[in-house]
Amino acid sequence: MKAWSLALLAVVGAFFIAGLTGSFITDYFGLWHLPGAGFAAALAVVVTTHFASPSHKFRSSCIALLVGAVVAWILIEPYWYPESERYGDLAYQTTHLPFVATLAGGILGLLVAFLLKSKTAA
């Protein structure tokens, strides 16, 4: 039980650190920070789950992706384009971009976890 508690702490830490880092990096390049934060956070959560889980690593990564997708759907679906010169007439219109970017990060993380699983099994 202690190992799973530590794994949960690692995943939560990875979520916050990667989300903030993704947000800062995309904002630095003049892009909308929310899709970048979601992509980075989802990627980090799924990969960290694989490394931190004491057992059933790939299954745990799949569950992390599923739970993360549901939470992201609840929190950011749909979202609105921000007001900026970059988005012009799209400002304040609904978009699925943050959710899609978050899901893409999680799927990429799951692909990484699958490749690590395959490499370990070989």
Structural domains counted in the chain: 1
Q: What DSSP string runs through 81-122?
A: PPSSTTTGGGTT-EESHHHHHHHHHHHHHHHHHHHHHHHHH-
Residue range 7-40, pLDDT digits in tens: 889 999 999 999 999 999 999 998 889 999 999 9
Residue range 42-77, pLDDT digits in tens: 999 999 999 999 899 999 999 999 999 999 999 988
Range of the domain at 90: 1-120
Range scoring the smallest mean pLDDT among 41-50, 75-84, 108-117: 75-84
Residue type, 1: M
Query: Whole-angstrom Cα distance, residue 24 to residue 86?
Result: 18
